[in-house]
């Protein structure tokens, strides 16, 4: 009987230890403030070429709704809204970038990296959206420990800006 109690006690300790390890891993994942980390620095892009993708009005409204959800700390709601926008405009780099940023706020770095990589590979190669996608890719890669991807993304940031040539 005493031997059975010791086994049960050991099982209980093992379960508690496993739960503590899982919780500590979850606490290492942190949500990102997209405005400070991605959008504000990219808005300062003074490239001669700024790419502003055309999107349907319904998609524009869904983007605003998703941004509002993110500002209220409802990242999962924003992701659902952005998936609706993606169903209307499936190849929109702007929607894909918003989706990458929403996944960052939810600390889902794998999805953030996936969506930002789509924008890097298929989206504009100049302007603010170009820069936002590379910043998102670099940040998600860093948080996943993928330094190789982070370095490539940071190196390609400079290519998002084309300065006006000097006039004499």
Query: pLDDT digit string (tens) for 34-73?
Result: 766 676 665 666 655 565 668 899 999 999 999 999 999 9
Q: Six-digit token pair at 62?
A: 């869904």
Write down the pTM of the prediction. 0.72
| Burial readout 74-112 (b: 16 or more C-beta within 10 A, e: otherwise) | bbebbbebbeebbeebeebbbbbbbbbbbbbbbebbebb
Q: Convert the pLDDT of each residue in 86-106 to its tens digit.
A: 999 999 999 999 999 999 999
């Amino acid at each position: 009987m005493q031997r059975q109690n010791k086994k049960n006690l050991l099982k209980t300790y093992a379960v508690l230890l496993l739960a503590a390890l899982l919780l500590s891993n979850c606490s290492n994942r942190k949500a990102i403030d997209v405005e400070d980390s991605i959008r504000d620095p990219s808005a300062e892009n003074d490239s001669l070429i700024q790419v502003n993708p055309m999107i349907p009005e319904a998609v524009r409204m869904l983007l605003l709704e998703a941004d509002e959800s993110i500002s209220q700390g409802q990242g999962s709601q924003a992701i659902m809204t952005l998936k609706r926008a993606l169903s209307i405009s499936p190849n929109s780099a702007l929607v894909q970038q918003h989706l990458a940023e929403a996944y960052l706020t939810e600390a889902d770095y794998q999805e953030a990296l996936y969506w930002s990589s789509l924008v890097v590979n298929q989206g504009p190669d100049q302007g603010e959206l170009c820069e936002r996608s590379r910043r998102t890719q670099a940040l998600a890669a860093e948080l996943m420990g993928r330094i190789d991807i982070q370095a490539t993304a940071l190196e390609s940031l400079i290519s998002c800006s084309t300065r006006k040539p000097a006039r004499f």
